[in-house]
Structure 1
């Protein structure tokens, strides 16, 4: 009898977990023929699944990644899965401001259009530093994408209506920004949370600045996804994390759905500057909706990446 109860409890737990992992899918079938999409970190995880989904809609897709070998393999897989041969890779290291500037110069020379920019690449909670002396999380997750977006903004305006979709995380709620120490790098988890909050403020200020210029911006929490973020940690941690992810996290294909939704949906366009979860707008904590903080972070970021 004990064995039977154990089996029943296990089955019930399994189906509860499956239910918890259910998420909404993007049902908008809009085509993107003639459009160009740039996706950072598009060689794996959510980025690659987003690339596949948008390539299937006919877009020209450029994936930006620092690992040329892995990106080359990803490009072949994206082409094969999407049946779209208009997919390519360009080298980009978001932990290096010079690399970002060089990338943007090459991109603007090669590509005549930029209709959708997906700021997907991110560093997990690691204690490390970028080549320019920023904490890795803040430097890559926020400052790198801040410089990239601002440098490519003229092309986005030329191709208006255009969109910028930036991936964030619901963990933003556990921290607030400290303008006396934006480069905080003491407790890895808190550093990550601050970088994800910065992504939200960045999206709001970008949306405000883009009003009337045809550039809209969206922040997306894709859910907790079975991606390759654990590669930065020890073998034992990776094994434990894989078990947890299998039980509670969603596949990358499902995690990409809200990104795709914000990239193509007319309904999403009504919520410029919004925060999205499960293909619909979600409510942010009050402190994450402070336009004054968003403006202050934008001005501080301009100084840090030497845009002013």
Structure 2
């Protein structure tokens, strides 16, 4: 017999990407124990179903597992179709999946991996789920960025790092893109009851960058690990932005340590945000074909 859950998030459906470990799993766990129905997305079926079982066992109610490799646009589209079929409502979408790769990789779509996973995947997924979010309103889109957005710049002349690539530069650019995307989305959703916010989770002790670490991660991270936040503490801001009643109408903001703060000067460049949106729409095939010459 299914448990009837009560709690501040009871009756709400929350979707969390990258929820098989680290901040994503801790975010899903926190919201599940607040009564939310969870849909979690991971790349590996075994790990995703294992995380769903763990969340259920820890007091979460209904937890559905979905599997997709977000680096491939065909997988993002298949995932969106499955989600729309399974979930009659989506109250909160948490774009949490992301990563760091020291060397340049190219995806199945021929795009630079960091940009594809960290920015284009949430951009495409959010757009594909937007009608369902609007129908479920008041709803929220929460995108996990990072304070390195302050070091990022959008290099429109070399978005894919073909001319020169550095893992750090690509990562910083993708995290600035997360903030620009959130602000532009908030502007586009002004007339709706769907909010869009970005956040910095803090320096969190996770397996971030483990697939393809930089020298810094191999040499320095082991020494600073004891001073890093636990995933549960790192998830606190995501949980707050996803659930706090007082944030129901707050949109187009950047949060750190549970509070709104100013993001970098570049992140408020509306022309760059609009251009990034257009370029991203072209790259993921969301651009409406024009009939004018």
Scaled by the length of structure 1, the TM-score of the pair is 0.86
Say whether 1:134 aligns with 2:102.
no
Indicate the SS of the match to 1:164. strand
Alignment of 1:94-109 (within 5 A): 94-109=70-85
Counterpart residue number, 1:41: 18
Aligned residue pair count: 279
Counterpart residue number, 2:95: 119
Alignment of 1:242-257 (within 5 A): 243-257=222-236
Give, in whole Å, the separation in 2 of the partners of 1:193 and 1:293: 16
Unaligned runs of 5+ in 2: 1-5, 288-293
Say whether 1:274 aligns with 2:250.
no
Which residue, out of 173, 184, 192, partners 1:205?
Answer: 184
Say whether 1:55 aligns with 2:35.
no
Q: Deviations over 1:24-79 (max 9, x none)?
A: xxxxx971111111100011000000000100111110111111111111111111
Counterpart residue number, 1:297: 276
Give, in whole Å, the separation in 2 of the partners of 1:307 and 1:293: 18
Shift of residue 193 of structure 1?
Answer: 0.2
Counterpart residue number, 1:70: 47
Counterpart residue number, 1:231: 210
Name which of structure 1's ranges 169-178 and 43-52 shifts more when overlaid on structure 2: 169-178
Give, in whole Å, the separation in 2 of the partners of 1:34 and 1:270: 19
Note if contact 1:143-1:305 (Cα within 8 Å) is conserved in structure 2.
yes
Note if contact 1:56-1:84 (Cα within 8 Å) is conserved in structure 2.
yes
Tell me which protein shows more helix as a share of its residues: 1
Q: Deviations over 1:122-174 (max 9, x none)?
A: 02133212111111110000001100000000000000010000000111111
Q: Deviations over 1:229-278 (max 9, x none)?
A: 14213699766455234233110000000001100113334531101000
Note if contact 1:50-1:256 (Cα within 8 Å) is conserved in structure 2.
yes
Say whether 1:88 aligns with 2:64.
yes
Note if contact 2:101-2:211 (Cα within 8 Å) is conserved in structure 1.
no
